[in-house]
Amino acid sequence: MRLAIAVLATSLVASSSALAQVPAEVEACRLSGLAAIKERSPSLDQITLDMESLAVSKANTNVGDTPIKMVVMGDAYLQRDKTDKPNRFVCLVSDKGKVVLTFFTEQ
């Protein structure tokens, strides 16, 4: 019994440390994407990013005059109904940590 509790506690600590490693920009992208999509679909109140599919890449490029320092791409699930299919999600983050663009497309 003690071994089972120790294994469970270890897995919970490992899970929480993995979640703590997600950059703050990823959450900013999720919130920005939610705000943008709510403009067209006010009833939508949740976006879940699939952390397994998420690619967070440092960048050194510009969009117009805006420096882009991070690109976040992956699958996003929009709360609609039980037949949800993932949407492809792209987010560009500026050198100041501001979300410049969020984009969703159905796969």
Give the residue, 18 or 99, on which the prediction is more confident.
Answer: 99
What CA–CA distance (Å, rounded) separates 59 from 50? 21
Cβ-proximal residues to 88 (8 Å cutoff; 6+ apart), any chain: 73, 74, 75, 76, 104, 105, 106, 107
What CA–CA distance (Å, rounded) separates 14 from 16? 6
The pLDDT tens digits for 32-41 are: 999 998 998 8
CB 73, CB 54: distance < 8 Å: yes
Phi, psi of 53 (to 5 degrees): -95, -10
Phi, psi of 84 (to 5 degrees): -55, 130
Average pLDDT over residues 13-29: 69
Reply yes or no on whether the pLDDT at 100 is more than 90. yes
Kindly report the pTM of this predicted structure: 0.74
**Six-digit token pair at 46?**
């949740």
